Amino acid sequence: MTTAENGSAVEVQDLVKAFGDFVAVDHVSFQVKKGEIFGFLGPNGAGKSTVIRILCGLLTPTSGGGMVAGFDVGEHPEEIRKHIGYMSQKFSLYDDLTVEENIDFFSRIYGVPRERRGERKEYVLRMAGLEDRRATTTRLLAGGWKQRLALGCAIVHEPSILFLDEPTSGVDPIARRGFWDLIYQLAEAGHSILVTTHYMDEAEYCHRLALIYRGKLIALGVPLALKRDMHSQQLLQLDTSDLLATMQALEAEPGVMSVAVFGAGLHVTVQDATAATARIRQVLEQKSIAIRRLDGIQPSMEDVFVALIEAEDQRTP
Amino acid sequence: MKLRRTRAVFQKEFRHILRDSRSLIMALVLPMFQMLLFGYALNLDVDRIPTLIYDADQSAASRALIERFRGSRFFEIEGFVNSYAGIEKAIDKSEVLMGLAIPRDYSQRISAGDKANLQILLDGSDSNTASIGLSYVESMVQNYALEVRSAGQERLAGMDLTSPVEARLRIWYNNTLESKNYIVPGLIAAMMMVIAALLTSLTVAREWEMGTMEQLLSTPVRAEEIVMGKMLAFFVVGVVDTVVASLVGIFIYGVPFRGSPWVLALTTVIFLTGAFFWGILVSAVARTQTLAYQMGLVSTFLPSFLLSGFMYAIENMPAPIQVITHVVPARYFVTIVRGIFLKGVGLNVLWGEVLFLIAFSSIVFWLATRKLKQKLA
C-alpha cells in the first residue's frame, strides 16, 4: 500500500504493450496523484486507450507495469477492479434497461452494501440530473444524459480512481462543459481521475497533462507550464489581406520556423519575435500585402501539441 | 463465485429477455411449430401403398388373392389395367408405387398344385418405401401360399394340417410400431438442443457488440458469475419450451408417457444446462451476433438431427461416424427421453447417459468461463 500512502493513486513504470509488430504503448511512465485530474492528450490511435485498458486489467502489458490503488496491475487485477470506475469510449450501458435499473445493476455488481444502495442511487441520480427520468429507458436519453449516467454508474461504488476514456466524444459542447463540471466535483470529493481526450480545450481543464504520440509520452506537465516551456521559439499572430500569398512569402524566410493557418489568420513560429516582426513587415510591404494585425501571442495548447509532434516526427521519421 | 453478483446478472439478463418481445415470442412459439411440422412430416410409416393390378387370369383364385390386398391396410388398390404397359406408365407418372401382375396361368397352376408366379413391380426411386412395401408383399404372399397349400393338402389328406412352426411376434414399448412414438420423444430432445444453444448464442456476442462486455470486465464481476447468471435467465424459457413440447407430444400425438415426470424434469435440467453453456461458449468465441448465430445453428442442428439417433439408427452408421456420435449430447438425451416416454425406465438404467450430460455441461462451462477471462484482444 506504499504508493497509496505516499499520495499517488496510479503509478506506471516503463509500460510497454505490443500487438504483434505494432508497439501501441512504448515505455510510458507517469504518476497520478490523489485527487488529481490527470489528462491524456493525443491523436486517435496514439495509445491512450491501451494504457487505460491495461490499468483496468482489461489487457495484459507486454512488459513494465504499474500500481493502481496500491495493487500491482499484473498480479492483483481483481483487487484493482473493486477500487476503480471505468468509462469506455463506447457508450456501454444497457439501453433496454431503465436509468434506475442500470444504476441498480452496477451497484450490485460492484458490491455496494445493500443498506447503502438506496443512498448511492439517489446520489448518482442527483449528480447526473436524472432524478425525473429514473424510469426512462436508457435508449431514449439524449447523448449528454447517457454520458452522465455512464459516469454515474462508474462511480456508484465510490471508487478512489476513475478512468474516463474519451468520455465526451460525440457530445455537444454545452453538455461537454457540464460534464467537466462533474469531473471537477468528483476530484474535489477526493476521486483521482485519469481522463483521455483529443479536445484541446478539455486538455486545459486538467491539473496535469501527458501528451501521447505514437505510443510515446512526449511531454508531461501542468498545462500552463507546458505552454510556457514551449520552445525557445515564440509565436506571432498575423492577419493580412492575402493569407495564401503571405504564407508563400514567409515560408522561405530564415528565422521563420513554421507558418500555419489558425482561424482567420496565421500563426507564425519564429526564433526571435522582435527581429522577425521587423523582417515580416519589410517582406510583406515589398509584396504589397496589407498587414491588419501582427502581435506576439501566448501559444495555445494546440500550438504546443503541434510543435511537439513536429519535433517528434523530425527525430523519428 | 458470489451469489449476489450472479443474481444481479441473472435479473438483468431476464429483463433483457422479457423486453425483447419479438425474440421471446419466437422462443416460445418456435418449439411448438417445430413439433407440429416435424412430427407430421417425419412420418416414417409406410401404409396404403398405392397399387395397380393387372389381372390376366381373371379367375376365382386371382380374385381371392386380390381381395387379400384389398383387405390389408398396407395397400390401396388404385385400379385395374389390362397390360404391363399400363402399370409401367402409372409408375412412371408416380401415380402408383406398386404394380401387381397375375399371370394368365395362375389359377391353373394353383389347382394343379404347381408353383405359381406373381410379378411385383415397385418404384425403387423411393428405396425406403419400396423395400418396406416389398417385405409386406412377401409376407402376405407367403402366408397366402401356406394357406393355399395346406388347404390343398387337407383336401388330399382329409385332415387339419397346420404349419408346424409359427412365430408369434410381440413387440415391446411401441406395440403398434407407429413411427411417431419413436420420432416425437427424439424430436423433443434434438430440438431442445438447437433452441437452447440458439437462445444463449447471442447474449455474450451482443454485449461485445454493444461495448457492455468491456464495461463488465472492468468490474469485480467474475466470468463464472456472468456465465451462470446468463444461463439461469434463459433456463426459465428452456423449461417452458420443454414442457410445451412434451405436452404436444403426449396430447396431440398421443405418444405414451410411461416414465416418471420427475426423472424427465431432472434430466432435462441437466441437459439444458449443457446446451445453454454451449450457446454461451459459441457466443464468447464468435463475438459478433451474426457469426454466433450461425455457429450455434450449425454446431447443434446437424449433429442433433443427424447423429443423435433421432432419425437414423446409430447402429447403421459407418464405424467412424458412430464414434463421432459419442460426443453429441443430443444422442444421450434422445436415449433418455425415449426411455422415459416409451419404456418408463428410470435413473437406474439411464445413469450412464446422465453422467455424460453432467460431464459435458461441466466441461463447456469451464471452456466458456476460460474464454471470457481472456480479456480483450
- CB count, 10 Å around CB of B231? 28
Superfamily of domain B49-157: abc type-2 transporter like domain (3.40.1710.10)
Q: Does B4 touch chain A (CB under 8 A)?
A: yes
Q: How far apart are CA B119 and CA B105, in angstroms?
A: 13
Looking at the structure of chain A, the number of domains it has is: 2
Q: Does A19 touch chain B (CB under 8 A)?
A: yes
The structural domains of chain B, with segments of one domain joined by +, span 7-43+179-373, 49-157
Instruction: Assess whether A159 and A279 both reside in one domain.
Output: no
A309 — pLDDT class (breaks 50, 70, 90): confident
In this predicted structure, the answer to whether residue A18 has a pLDDT above a threshold of 70 is: yes
Q: How far apart are CA A179 and CA A168, in angstroms?
A: 8
Reported ipTM exceeds the 0.85 cut: no
Q: Which helix (H) or strand (E) segment is B182 a member of?
A: helix B179-201
Cβ pair B73, B133 in contact under 8 A: no
Contact A81 B218 (CB under 8 A): yes
Instruction: Assess whether A63 and A93 both reside in one domain.
Output: yes
Q: Which three cell numbers stand for residue B167?
A: 412365430
Instruction: Assess whether A121 and A268 both reside in one domain.
Output: no
**Residue A16, phi-psi category: left (phi > 0), alpha (psi -120 to 50), beta (remainder):** beta
Instruction: Assess whether A193 and A269 both reside in one domain.
Output: no
Residue A308 lies in a domain: no
Instruction: Assess whether A117 and A58 both reside in one domain.
Output: yes
The stretches of B287-328 forming alpha helices (DSSP H) are 289-306, 319-325
Q: Could you read off the pLDDT of B3-56 as tens digits, one per residue?
A: 899 999 999 999 999 998 888 888 888 888 888 888 777 666 677 888 889 988
B364 — pLDDT class (breaks 50, 70, 90): very high
Residues of A in Cβ contact (< 8 Å) with B220: 78, 81-82, 109-111
Instruction: Assess whether A182 and A267 both reside in one domain.
Output: no
Shortest CB distance from A88 goes to which of B7, B211, B222? Answer: B211
Residue at which a domain ends, from A194, A227, A260: A227
User: How many residues are given for chain B?
Assistant: 377
Residue A140 lies in a domain: yes
Using CB atoms within 10 A of its CB, is residue B72 exposed (0-12), middle (13-18) or buried (19+)?
A: middle
State the pTM of this model. Answer: 0.79
Cβ pair A58, B214 in contact under 8 A: yes
Q: Which helix (H) or strand (E) segment is B98 a member of?
A: strand B98-102
What integer pLDDT is reported at residue B171 of this predicted model?
61
Instruction: Assess whether A13 and A131 both reside in one domain.
Output: yes
Q: Does B206 touch chain A (CB under 8 A)?
A: no
Angle between helices B347-373 and B261-286 (to 10 degrees): 20
Q: Which three cell numbers stand for residue A268?
A: 507564425
Residue A133 lies in a domain: yes
Q: How far apart are CA B202 and CA A46, in angstroms?
A: 33
Q: Which helix (H) or strand (E) segment is A267 a member of?
A: strand A265-270
Instruction: Assess whether A235 and A112 both reside in one domain.
Output: no
What CATH code is carried by the domain that includes residue A261? 3.30.70.260
Residues in B 214-243 with any Cβ partner in A closer than 8 A: 214-222
In this predicted structure, the answer to whether residue B161 has a pLDDT above a threshold of 60 is: no
Residue A303 lies in a domain: no
For A294, the domain range is 231-298
Give the pLDDT mean for A220-245: 80
Average pLDDT, chain B: 86
In this predicted structure, the answer to whether residue A271 has a pLDDT above a threshold of 50 is: yes
Residue A266 lies in a domain: yes
Q: Could you read off the pLDDT of A42-55 as tens digits, one per residue?
A: 888 888 889 999 99
Instruction: Assess whether A54 and A201 both reside in one domain.
Output: yes
What integer pLDDT is reported at residue A4 of this predicted model?
43
In this predicted structure, the answer to whether residue B160 has a pLDDT above a threshold of 60 is: no
Average pLDDT, chain A: 86
In this predicted structure, the answer to whether residue B58 has a pLDDT above a threshold of 70 is: yes
What integer pLDDT is reported at residue B177 of this predicted model?
59
Q: Which residue has the higher pLDDT, B231 or A310?
A: B231
Residues of B in Cβ contact (< 8 Å) with A84: 218
Q: Which three cell numbers stand for residue A112?
A: 455496494
Q: Could you read off the pLDDT of B313-322 as tens digits, one per residue?
A: 888 889 999 9
Contact B376 A53 (CB under 8 A): yes
Give the pLDDT mean for B92-98: 86
